[in-house]
Structure 1
Amino acid sequence: MPPPDAATASAPTAAPTAPGPAPAPIDVEQAEAALVEHYPRLVRLAYLVLPPALGRNRRVLTAHAVVQRSLPRNRTAATPDDGYAYVRSRVLRQALDAGRTLRRVAWPRRAQLPPLLPHVWGLRLFPRSGGADELALDRRLSALSGGARAAFVLRGLEGLTDPDVRRLLAASGVDDPHAALAEADGIGTEGVALLESPEYDPCSLQARPTDLLRRRQHARAAVAGVAAVAVCGALLGLPGDGWGADGAAAPSYTRNSAAEAALDPAKVRRVPRDAWRASARTDFSVWPTRGALADDRPLLRRALAVWARPGTSVRVSSTPATPVGPPMGPAQLLYAGEVDRARVVLLYDGLRIARYAEPRTGAGPVALDFARVDGAAADTAPGAAPSTYALVAARTDGNVRYLTAPWVETTSVRDLLDPNGDARPLRRGADGVTAPLPTPGERRECGAWDVLEVTEKDPGAVRVLSDLGELTPARLTSGAPSAPADVSGGVARAAWARTACLLPAVRSHGVRTVNSWQYASQNLPESNGGAKWVCTRAETWRGTENRVLAQFQPPTAKAGTPPTGAVAARASSSSACGAREPSVLAGVLWKSRGGRWYVLAAGSEQFRSVRTTGGVTGDARGRVLAVRARPGDRAELDGLLADGRRVGALR
């Protein structure tokens, strides 16, 4: 999306043939107005150009500092650009300076030093973590030089042409703008649309504490040091030997034994392979310890240390509302082994799953992911609890691998968009890790949606799980909210074939289960066939902020093709379409094949009548409605329930 002045900023500048008039000066108030108006965009630009090696917390603070230091030093500044272009050029120069190597023979530039302001004591600030696409783009950008990274961002975020990019890079001190553009060409244009992602928004931040234990120890040491200096000064002024009864002994510190035990790899809990067979529980507490590196003490020590106090270079992500602090005591080791190009450790503390991943060879970025799993259990009733059938072990190159539960007999892959297709067998190693399968929804056109099917050893039930960007895949079900069932059989699969492409709307929201059910059918006016009304409800680990989508599915002309549905209504933190409140009402403005417009609405079986008011008026006995309308009409829907209550449409 180009900035408001893109037409001005991106116009190529021709070299003058004769001296022209002096450029009009820009008043500092004009530059400040441009900075304030476009502050979020300028901070995003600085954040993207700054070197990723700084770490997310320092990149955020440095980006804000760079933008806030970009006003002209004098009252006016002679420049041919407008206010935004002038401030942008200063932001770009400082961001590039911050990535240059410090030299011994020269004073450091201001941007190369940590910012004095803004600064937040005791907190680590970083943008919300994105999905696999943002992670892949971040890795590609980190491999570029500063000039190439700036070229890619100026093209994609600012919409500048190559001549304007070369001019800006040259003005910002890049030695070879042509080479920078050529290097930026090497990563392609697939990630341009992601530059507007929340992953790169330094104005919408998450806050986490720094290392609390170390901070407390440093504070105590500082207080003790000051007290020791004061005592020594007083004693030096006294006659005699002066040191006192305890001599030079350091002050004692109270140590937290629980915290120390949590960081000791020798004390991690290990569960025998067949413990689950004799246990009444079916949650993560009975998962056995697996993996070829389960006895690698140095690896476990690194994983536990990073969990307790992640450094600024560690990429930390978590499902919403999941605490990311250290465990209260020794954690349970689920898995430790090599998966693709990483060493992976999966730990469980009774509330959360923590996944630690480091490069298999050499140095590189370390990842720490958290997922909330309280109340999870393998249960024959799909609505009773979220599943403990699988965990994400790794995501690499658009593929995902799972670590499966010990009670999983077989694993397979099924494309939800092909309800008549067969499931494909999925190989699984002796350690329970599956072969890679494509991450669903990677392509924007939604040409396929591959899910994991697992078959339990006893009673042989088939569960369907989908990766939604979390450590724990979401369990998919079908049927009325009062009695959801696993997705099996032609009817349920056909229903999900028309719903799967809506799942990206609930990705990375901490979703544990998704139920989709057809709550009504309707004969369309003018003999246009029959339509279906479907409600999809995504339950989160928080129990609140659930996502509800009502979908209108008209018939399609092409036989055998699942009809393309339209989202008629959506809501969050709603009880509609759930076990406690199964009723749902939604409507759309629809155009018939004859060119006439109608307001269509349908409610679940609890409705006895439906009406529309506002721009279109009409009512109908029963739970479906069709009223003539005009293009652009707005209608207010409500319906009467069997218990006498009148409720509005989903929103």
Structure 2
Amino acid sequence: TDDRSLLSRALRVWDHPADSVRRTVESGASTEGPAHPPQLLYAGALDARKVVLFHDGERTVRYSEPAQAGGSAATLDIARSDNSDVTDASALTLVRDADSARYLLAPWISESGLRDLRAPDRLPRPLPLTDGVTEEVALPPAKGCGSWPALQLRSSGKIVENHRFLVTDLGGFSPVHLTYQPLPGEGKSPGRAARPVEATSSAALVAWSATACGLPRLDPGVRSVNTWDFASQPLPGGGRGTWNCMRADTWKGPGQILIGLRPSTGQPLLAATARNTAACSRFGQHVVADVEYRTSDGDRYLLAAGSRAVTELTVDGKTSKGPTAAVRNATAGPGRVKARTRTGQVIEPPRAG
């Protein structure tokens, strides 16, 4: 931009914000002014606002002011961006209103599209760019979950690794990177535990179509979300259920999990949530969960399932071999379910909360 005064105002506000400036600081980000000249990522006018984006190696900072006199107040938003990679630095939010947002895509993005996570069979539509800036993109719904927009991006093989990935807007400075971890035995190495992969395969899209509605339950400050299908079991009364752990990692480090069961028919069931946990990560690979389940005939069961290393389950005092169990007329509660791994470790389900 040739508007040097805009850049000067942005730097001045970052260093010494006036009381009239609306400032937001994402958790873990420093509020200190720039210690050295930052990199300018963007400066220009968008949707009645003038916007400036800076990056200083540790943080991304967005300054915004009304394009015309008499508009709303200037804003300053500061977010952590240390150790960003090709995926979580691929898009930055320039402007956002109640219904839509526009993003600045990184120069290594060679292809951009928009898809609905709730419609896994529907192909993404192309997302036009102007100087690296997207058109208006609808935000996830404030209520309900009939659709869930996500950006499908491809990185250029001329600059970095050529691969597709998904990101979605959870209200933060950057859209959140989505990944998928398939059931044991369904990865590239059937004899090993599957690792998280990009959520662009058919299986990943089907899994996310059912679990996307859990995203609003996550706390602010999320960097990436992995959905892990850790067990499958036959359901009483017919059909199968897939046990899933959705793990959100934040820029600060602690993770949050939501564990649920996806029946082949019917609505997903939430089994448990936990915060500040290593569960469902490479540092917490063993997990067990339970949920009360009712068949179409009205029969009640307590279902339980463990991850790949679980060899024995005790449910309501009844012990069985294997990683899944179903006990009729049992109810969930502390101490009702315990799992033993092949190394003898005993684990219990996290309780909802």
Superposed pair shares fold, TM > 0.5: yes
The equivalent of 1:547 in structure 2 is 256
Larger relative contact order, structure 1 or 2 (CA cutoff 8 Å, min sep 6): 2
Matched, 1:453 2:152: yes
CA distance in 2, matches of 1:635, 1:424: 49
AA in 1 matched with 2:66: P
AA in 2 matched with 1:342: R
Mapping of 1:321-332 within 5 angstroms? 321-332=28-39
AA in 1 matched with 2:271: A
The equivalent of 1:377 in structure 2 is 85
AA in 1 matched with 2:234: N
CA distance in 2, matches of 1:470, 1:600: 36
AA in 1 matched with 2:151: L
Mapping of 1:381-396 within 5 angstroms? 387-396=88-97
CA apart distance, 1:397: 4.3
CA distance in 1, matches of 2:95, 2:16: 22
Mapping of 1:5-24 within 5 angstroms? none
CA apart distance, 1:460: 3.3
Matched, 1:495 2:172: no
CA apart distance, 1:636: 2.4
> Matched residue of 1:304: which SS?
helix
AA in 2 matched with 1:488: T
- Whether the 8 Å CA contact 1:353–1:371 is kept in 2: the answer is yes
> Matched residue of 1:573: which SS?
strand
CA distance in 2, matches of 1:633, 1:650: 10
Mapping of 1:603-618 within 5 angstroms? 603-612=306-315, 616-618=316-318
The equivalent of 1:407 in structure 2 is 108
- Whether the 8 Å CA contact 1:609–1:621 is kept in 2: the answer is yes
- Whether the 8 Å CA contact 2:335–2:348 is kept in 1: the answer is no
CA distance in 1, matches of 2:343, 2:252: 30
Matched, 1:368 2:61: no
CA apart distance, 1:631: 6.5
CA distance in 2, matches of 1:633, 1:391: 43
CA distance in 2, matches of 1:564, 1:437: 28
- Whether the 8 Å CA contact 2:302–2:331 is kept in 1: the answer is no
The equivalent of 1:427 in structure 2 is 128
CA distance in 2, matches of 1:633, 1:313: 51
| Aligned counterpart in structure 2 of residue 348 of structure 1, from 51, 55, 61 | 55
Mapping of 1:45-60 within 5 angstroms? none
- Whether the 8 Å CA contact 1:416–1:449 is kept in 2: the answer is yes
CA apart distance, 1:422: 1.0
TM-score using structure 1 length: 0.50
CA apart distance, 1:455: 1.2
The equivalent of 1:626 in structure 2 is 326
Deviations 1:462-504 (A, max 9, x none): 1111111111111100115862111112111000000111111
Deviations 1:223-267 (A, max 9, x none): xxxxxxxxxxxxxxxxxxxxxxxxxxxxxxxxxxxxxxxxxxxxx
- From the superposition, tell whether residues 389 and 632 of structure 1 become closer, same or farther in structure 2 (CA, over 3 Å): closer
| Aligned counterpart in structure 1 of residue 301 of structure 2, from 581, 594, 598 | 598
AA in 2 matched with 1:302: R
Structure 1 residues without counterparts, runs of 5 or longer: 1-292, 379-385, 557-562
CA distance in 1, matches of 2:53, 2:267: 40
The equivalent of 1:463 in structure 2 is 165
Mapping of 1:131-530 within 5 angstroms? 293=1, 295-363=2-70, 364-378=72-86, 387-429=88-130, 431-440=131-140, 442-458=141-157, 459-479=161-181, 483-507=195-219, 509-525=220-236, 527-530=237-240
AA in 1 matched with 2:96: R
CA apart distance, 1:318: 2.2
The equivalent of 1:589 in structure 2 is 292
CA apart distance, 1:630: 5.3
AA in 2 matched with 1:464: L
- Whether the 8 Å CA contact 1:584–1:649 is kept in 2: the answer is yes
Deviations 1:108-141 (A, max 9, x none): xxxxxxxxxxxxxxxxxxxxxxxxxxxxxxxxxx
CA distance in 2, matches of 1:360, 1:594: 62
- Whether the 8 Å CA contact 1:528–1:593 is kept in 2: the answer is no
CA distance in 2, matches of 1:574, 1:635: 19
CA apart distance, 1:564: 2.3
CA apart distance, 1:617: 2.6
- Whether the 8 Å CA contact 2:306–2:323 is kept in 1: the answer is yes
- Whether the 8 Å CA contact 1:390–1:404 is kept in 2: the answer is yes
CA distance in 1, matches of 2:195, 2:291: 28
> Matched residue of 2:134: which SS?
coil
CA apart distance, 1:388: 1.4
AA in 1 matched with 2:73: P
CA distance in 1, matches of 2:138, 2:233: 36
AA in 1 matched with 2:169: D
AA in 2 matched with 1:460: N
> Matched residue of 2:340: which SS?
strand
Runs of 4+ in structure 1 over 6 Å off: 631-634
Between Structure 1 and Structure 2, the one with more helix by share is 1
Aligned-residue Cα RMSD (Å) equals 1.7
Mapping of 1:53-92 within 5 angstroms? none
Between Structure 1 and Structure 2, the one with more strand by share is 2
CA distance in 2, matches of 1:634, 1:646: 14
- Whether the 8 Å CA contact 2:249–2:256 is kept in 1: the answer is yes
> Matched residue of 2:327: which SS?
strand
Deviations 1:122-169 (A, max 9, x none): xxxxxxxxxxxxxxxxxxxxxxxxxxxxxxxxxxxxxxxxxxxxxxxx
Greater gyration radius: 1
What percent of counterpart residues are identical? Answer: 36
AA in 2 matched with 1:326: G
> Matched residue of 1:455: which SS?
strand
Structure 2 residues without counterparts, runs of 5 or longer: 183-192
AA in 2 matched with 1:552: L
AA in 2 matched with 1:530: R
